[in-house]
Amino acid sequence: MPMKTDFKVLRVDLTTGNIQTELLSEDFYKRYPGGKALAGYYLLREMPANTEPFDPENVLILAAGLLTGAPVSTTPRYVVAGRSPLTYAVGSSEAAGYWGPELKQAGYEAVIITGRAENPVYLWINDQEVEIRSAENLWGRTTAEAQAMIREALGDEKVRVLQTGIAGENLVRFAGLTNDLRHFNGRNGLGAVFGAKNLKAVAVRGTRRYQEIAHDPDGLRELGRKLARQVRDNPQSWELQHRGTPGLIEPLNVSGMLPTRNFRQGAFEQMEDIKWEAYEKELLIARRTCFACAVRCKREVQIDGKPSEYGGPEYETLASFSSNCGISDLHVIAKANELCNAYMLDSISTGVTISFAMECFENGLIGLDDTDGIELRFGNADAMLAMIEKIAKRDGFGDILAEGSKRAAEKIGNGAIDYAQQVKGQEVPMHEPRGKYNVGMGYAVAEIGADHLIVAHDTMFTNPDSLPFRNAAPLGITQAEPARSLSDEKVRQYLILENWNSFENTVGYCFFGPAPRGFIHPDDVLASINLASGWNMTFDDLLEIGERAVNLHRLFNVREGFTSKDDDLPKRFYEPLENGFLEGESIDHDLFLAARAHLYQIKGWDPETGIPTRPRLEHLGLGWAADLLNL
């Protein structure tokens, strides 16, 4: 028999206060099994074209996946989606932690939120009891304060709180969301959509366990135990458990791919001060994990001798505020992380936007009169911390940077756009595309703007004897390719990996779980889906789920006027790196565009426009979407 559950979606209209529940058919859920796919369906179906991101009509979707909350390591993830105020494209951001499993335990696959409350509110979901509560006393509070106040008001310390912060209230275009103060839907500015709706938080408490709904609970539990035992046997997951993502600093610096001084350079001369051994000595006090996960990749740190309420900086935060801003003081970087999490700013966009401003300052495009007297130079730690505060509060020059680097560059003018490292308005993460070409392709073509989790990174597939390469064979990757290649085979691999990651973002898997990046072999991924659902799926089915989700997001962007011209990298990545192992290397723009055209073609999209073709959409069961856009 299939899963023992009704597939329920909770609908909340903040304007009217109306709360309803709808049931999804199993056939529908099998096609859109949560997360990215379910969000893409509702965004395209229900949001009117040309809806402004801060309008009440922006549809906000919080969607767990098929496996979210299962007793299997690395399956706690959920998606928050809407129209992004940063990119004006489809907005979609995943997070792990505990909130997604709690929503599933409350009995819901997703929450769809529309409208705008007249005054600040939060949503309280207590199993099947749902109510909208006042949040006026929470407005203007840090995320730690707000979470404590919500739990106190509800009389339950185990309530899981997903919330925006002061940055979201102030409509900073890259404001994010946090659950349990340590897990983040950071990208795409969806925290500002919360703020625009006067929605401070969604608090959840659920009592139903996943084992009650699984098709084969005993088989799923045994698989989970087996995978937990495998964590220490796999060097990738063991490294994550030991060092966490901060362990990436040194190897990326050695390989010339550590973004430094706004991506001009690939190596940081003060790397010794920020690498893992320094982090472990100066900051680390404990390791934490997400729901039911044996990897334990989260770091707990101390600042000024006291444990931080917000956890420690991950690699992306560490690099964006250290090497990319020319700063080597780990305590300053930990403080920057704490400020971002207290105010709920996306640390990637914040760090890259500040590094953009530093380059503008050093090149004379802005001066002290513009920056409120703050000397925004690379290496100025005090300036960086001050600007984080100003951005969150939209104070002075921070009000300009709160718009994101693209809009700030347009306001500054005089060629400032060349210093804005962004795609579709979203700042580029801390992975150097001049050393990993498929990562660069992901930055360019991703519907949500530049993102580092679109595909598994190129360096995993250069050695045919490596564990990631061997484990990718069931997906169809059988030929090793150089990291700096744009061959037809490399493009084919990109398509497979994009669909695989999109599938993960649909069903609730973390990027660090399934192979090739993680320790869970594709055979076990497939087994987990079928043990949970009873659907008897194949690898082709899983890849098609991912492809369907990608196409839904693509169609949203096509409807909103995005074209192939938006699928390109910043000028900087077509220019040579200034130092490091890859000094002098750049991406050939003509070859990149040719590879992009080939990618469009094998996706079943028009090679020139990048618009999905009707035959491919009908193959994916998306004929209704082709009709909607008159394709």
Sheet (strand 110-114) strand order: 19-24, 7-13, 110-114, 60-64, 78-83, 90-95
Q: 406 vs 75, 79, 255, 410, CA distance in Å?
A: 34, 25, 29, 6
Q: Whole-angstrom Cα distance, residue 323 to residue 288?
A: 26
Answer for the pair 541, 529: CB distance below 8 angstroms, yes or no: no
Backbone phi, psi, residue 535, to 5°: -90, -10
In eight-state DSSP terms, residue 273 is: G
Helix (H, G, I), strand (E, B) or coil at 9: strand
Q: Whole-angstrom Cα distance, residue 46 to residue 6?
A: 22
- Full 3-state SS string of 29-66: HHHCCEHHHHHHHHHHHHCCCCCCCCCCCCCEEEEEEC
Answer for the pair 19, 120: CB distance below 8 angstroms, yes or no: no
Query: Does the pLDDT at position 545 exceed 90?
Result: yes
At 563 the pLDDT is 97
Q: What mean pLDDT, rounded, does the chain reach?
A: 97
Q: Whole-angstrom Cα distance, residue 384 to residue 322?
A: 10
Q: What is the pLDDT of residues 297-351, one digit of tens each?
A: 999 999 989 999 999 999 999 999 999 999 999 999 999 999 999 999 999 999 9
Q: What is the pTM of this model?
A: 0.97
At 100 the pLDDT is 98
Least confident of 163-167, 168-172, 295-299, 319-323: 295-299
Q: What is the mean pLDDT of residues 270-291?
A: 96
At 415 the pLDDT is 97
Span(s) in the chain for CATH 1.10.569.10? 234-362+366-413
Angle between helices 347-362 and 330-343 (to 10 degrees): 120
Q: Whole-angstrom Cα distance, residue 109 to residue 120?
A: 25
Peptide bond into 33 cis (omega under 30): no
- Full 3-state SS string of 356-403: HHHHHHHCCCCCCCCCCCCCCCCCCHHHHHHHHHHHHHCCCHHHHHCC
Strands 306-307, 110-114: pairing kind: unpaired
Q: Whole-angstrom Cα distance, residue 206 to residue 127?
A: 5
CA angle 243, 247, 251 (to 5 degrees): 145
Q: Whole-angstrom Cα distance, residue 162 to residue 276?
A: 30
At 1 the pLDDT is 54
Helix (H, G, I), strand (E, B) or coil at 318: helix
Q: What is the pLDDT of residues 128-157, one digit of tens each?
A: 999 999 999 999 999 999 999 999 999 999
- Full 3-state SS string of 118-165: CCCEEEEEECCEEEEEECCCCCCCCHHHHHHHHHHHHCCCCCEEEECC
Q: What is the mean pLDDT of residues 466-492?
A: 96
- Strand ranges (E), 398-475: 422-423, 426-427
- CATH code for residues 234-362+366-413: 1.10.569.10
At 90 the pLDDT is 98
Q: Whole-angstrom Cα distance, residue 385 to residue 622?
A: 47
Answer for the pair 87, 187: CB distance below 8 angstroms, yes or no: no
Span(s) in the chain for CATH 1.10.599.10? 437-628
Backbone phi, psi, residue 133, to 5°: -115, 155
Query: Does the pLDDT at position 363 exceed 90?
Result: yes
At 361 the pLDDT is 98
Span(s) in the chain for CATH 3.60.9.10? 7-212
User: What is the radius of gyration, based on Cα positions, of the chain?
Assistant: 23
At 612 the pLDDT is 98
Answer for the pair 159, 151: CB distance below 8 angstroms, yes or no: yes
Residue type, 211: Q
Q: Whole-angstrom Cα distance, residue 262 to residue 259?
A: 7
Q: 413 vs 358, 408, 420, 569, CA distance in Å?
A: 15, 9, 11, 19
- Provide the terminal-to-terminal Cα distance of the chain, rounded to the nearest Å: 39
Residue type, 534: G
Helix (H, G, I), strand (E, B) or coil at 450: coil
Q: What is the mean pLDDT of residues 161-187?
A: 98
Domain 7-212: CATH architecture, name and number where available: 4-Layer Sandwich (3.60)
Q: 472 vs 216, 240, 503, 618, CA distance in Å?
A: 26, 20, 15, 28
Q: Whole-angstrom Cα distance, residue 613 to residue 381?
A: 50
CATH 3.40.50.300 fits 437-628, yes or no: no
Return the bridge partners of 65, or none. 34
Q: What is the pLDDT of residues 31-83, one digit of tens each?
A: 999 999 999 999 999 999 999 999 999 999 999 999 999 999 999 999 999 99
Give kind and range of the element (H or E) at residue 82: strand 78-83
Q: What is the pLDDT of residues 18-34, one digit of tens each?
A: 999 999 999 999 999 99
Backbone phi, psi, residue 540, to 5°: -60, -35
Task: Provide the percentage of residues in the chain whose pLDDT is more than 90.
Answer: 97
